[in-house]
Amino acid sequence: MRVEGADRLCNACKTTEEKLVLWTLPQQGRIAHLAGDGTAVPRSREAVVLAEELGSPFHSVLALQGFGAACLAAGRGDDAVDSLQDALSLARGRFVGLFEESSLLAYLADAHLLVDDPVTALRLAEEALAVSRAQHARVFECHALLSRARARRAIAHDDARAAISADLAEARSAVEESGFVAWSPFLAREQAWLAGEGP
């Protein structure tokens, strides 16, 4: 299937191989994050270097996002924050890759949780949720709701349990509507905590 405008988006690429690498290599970090696999950092870093070499801001956004997700999976919170913040700043500053804005914000919220900054994580998760809803992006909405539930759990306000339960219910609905079941194990973990069955 041909994607309209794909050639324009990748006009920095000289070969079909470069196009494929710049589209697929960043996804390794995102897949690693979903799988809990901390070994994707070196390959994800390759995508960042390649996008920089080609001078492609669009692909740099995707590569920095993939690298940030890989760092999350590897437990490298500071590296994840730096990479994801760079990706978000580049996307907003150059108006490229903004279809990933909500995802970037949700990953950044997760990264701030990893570095023990739940207040910032909650703010970013709420921003991610607002963006995903404005874009009607149900898959990203699920990630934003999950990130917000985690941040609320970390802050542990008195009303956190009810708010977390509502977030998880909304996220389950988003999973059912979108069919993106990759978030289901993460939701199950939060639900187990809510039921007193998890850490």
| Single pTM value for the model | 0.88
- CATH class of the structural domain 1-96: mainly alpha
Q: CB of 127 within 8 A of CB of 139? A: no
What is the token pair recorded at 114? 């990893």
Of 1.20.120, 3.30.70, 3.40.50, 1.25.40, the CATH number of 100-199 is 1.25.40
Residue 61: pLDDT band (50, 70, 90) is very high
Q: What is the mean pLDDT of the chain?
A: 88
Confidence check: pLDDT of 57 > 50: yes
Residue ranges of domains in the chain: 1-96, 100-199
Q: pLDDT per residue over 2-45, tens digit each? A: 333 334 445 555 677 777 777 888 899 999 999 999 999 998 99
1-96 and 100-199, same CATH topology: yes
Average pLDDT over residues 172-180: 90
Contacts of 22 (CB under 8 A, 6+ apart): 10, 13, 47, 50, 51, 54, 56, 59, 62, 63
pLDDT of residue 16: 72
